[in-house]
Amino acid sequence: MQESGTNQIQHNNVSIKDAIGVIETLHEYVLLGMRNLRIICTENGKFKPDLLDKNQFASYELAFSEAEIAAAKSLLNFGKQADKHSLDFDISILFACEIFKSVTARLRSICWDANLCLTELASLETNDIVSGLLQYNNGSFIAQLGQRILTEEITQLTAGLSEEKELVRETFYRFTNDVVAPLAEEIHRKDKDIPKEIIRPAAELGCFGTCIPERFGGLQPDEKPDSLGMIVVTEELSRGSLGAAGSLITRPEIAARALLAGGTEAQQKYWLPKLAGGEILCAISITEPNTGSDVAAVSLKAIRTDGGWLLNGSKTWCTFAGRSELIVTLARTNPDSSLGYKGLSMFLIKKPKYAGHQFQHEQSKGGKLSGKAIATLGYRGMHSYELFFEDYFVPETNLVGEDNGEGNGFYYTMAGFSGGRIQTAARATGIMQAAFEKALNYSNERVVFDQTLGEFQLTQVKIARMLATITASRQFSYAVARQMDEGRGQMEASLVKLFSCRAAEWVTREAMQIFGGMGYAEESAVSRYFVDARVLSIFEGAEEVLALKVIARELIEKS
């Protein structure tokens, strides 16, 4: 751990154990709010989700409070080994203060909705340990941390990775700097396709096999999953470019998890090695124009025909659909809409690859699949498509799970999405890291009023808070990855996505603000980070749906 300079606050005022205790006490109020909402939403002893929909404001704030507290706990648990005079320790305590302020503000805003006592919340701050913790949350102390970070040009705190994982990180760190970064700006500004100069060497490094077991040609050990390796690779690639590199793993990761969850042995043996080696690239097509994140409402029709199925309907926001040779899609195989998600099945659609922003693939028997890229603010390179299926034939062997897979597509989709959410958190961390590095360098170089930006207190405070947020996001995603490898962490995967994606918007915004007018110019990379970060809270589960329909509903119902 790194030795820090002299602080105005004595470190013996608080410990990591004290900070964890404060956060856990605050968490009790969040849990109380959830229990109170459950009572409000219960009739005749039965929980009513429709009543919860009438309490969305409180549910939303409680979901975010849960995510922020989980992030603070992750960083504090990691910081237990830190020396009390280290920067790691100070950053952990600073972040705990930030979360305490944020969560108490959220709870105050819903005290009437969730039957919380405002007086009790206010009295919490008068506790001696809490007061000792909050001493760290003053401008002078935070600025000291920022000044040290700027002076020593500290871009990242201790990650706590094993030697093996650190080697993986270093490999993709170099790849990002040498290959991705030099191409990223042109891809973004001209909305180009991802070039083979990125895809080929990424495949050679095993990029596409990080989530696929070794027996299928991937990098994951056969005897146990290794989500952490995937997180490390994703973060480094996203540091170079979200649209041109950071999302390369996402689609094969979702497809692989779905195939491993429900694919037949033959399907796994055929598709997984091709995905792992980058022999084929894939896209995931779930969202429809009228359904958004409501997966159960998917309406793309799949009708049985000789030897397979005919697909008719449309999809939207299918990223990388043009370049991909495989599209994994969800369709309704049972026309009875009352069945909801139970009438959905997953299909593997094979197609030629197409360059550019639109394509049309006609089958020999007349079926057609066409796509047109949607112009977007950021996240360029992969392109997100609207898709149109017209009697498009899919052989019966391409129904995931074949006979056993009919009606189970929703479950396979969810198996893939849990990995997609934690990976999106890693993408958010990578973008934040890139923005922070640029902001740090610019703060030390830019002179205003005869001083560098980094000599101003407010800049120092921004820098310290940014690094604290990035470190928390990183350690939170690492912790969730380890839980998922033990067969747990489904809820935590949603929580880390909710926290990290919102954090990325704030960090990239602060980086742009430090750059001032130059940050708004396209010639500055921070403008790309800002517009790319904005999509993170939308895809892989929109923020509102994730907070209300996944996190709040499950936690409140079980409270």
Torsional sign, CA 465, 466, 471, 476: positive
540 part of the active site? yes
Both tokens of residue 492?
A: 């935590």
Q: Which three-class secondary structure state does DSSP give residue 371?
A: strand
- Angle between the 227-240 and 409-445 helix axes, to the nearest 10 degrees? 50
Per-residue DSSP letter, 120: H
Residue found under tokens 């960083």:
75
SS (HEC) of 434-491: HHHHHHHHHHHHCEECCEEHHHCHHHHHHHHHHHHHHHHHHHHHHHHHHHHHCCCCHH
Question: HEC profile for 231-292?
Answer: HHHHHHHHHHCHHHHHCCCHHHHHHHHHHHHHCCHHHHHHHHHHHHCCCCCEEEECCCCCCC
Helix (H, G, I), strand (E, B) or coil at 170: helix
With tokens 């999106």, the residue in question is: 424
The H helix count followed by the E strand count for the chain is: 20, 12
Given 390, 540, 543, 544, the catalytic residue? 540
> Residue 39 burial (CB < 10 Å; 0-12/13-18/19+)?
exposed
Backbone φ and ψ for 314, nearest 5 degrees, come out as: -135, 155
Q: How far apart are CA 203 and CA 511, in angstroms?
A: 32
Contact indicator for 334, 407 with CB cutoff of 8 Å? yes
Q: Is the dihedral of CA 551, 554, 557, 559 positive or negative?
A: negative
Cβ atoms within 10 A of the Cβ of 270, count? 16
Helix H or strand E segment including 499: helix 490-515
Q: Which residues have a catalytic role annotated?
A: 540
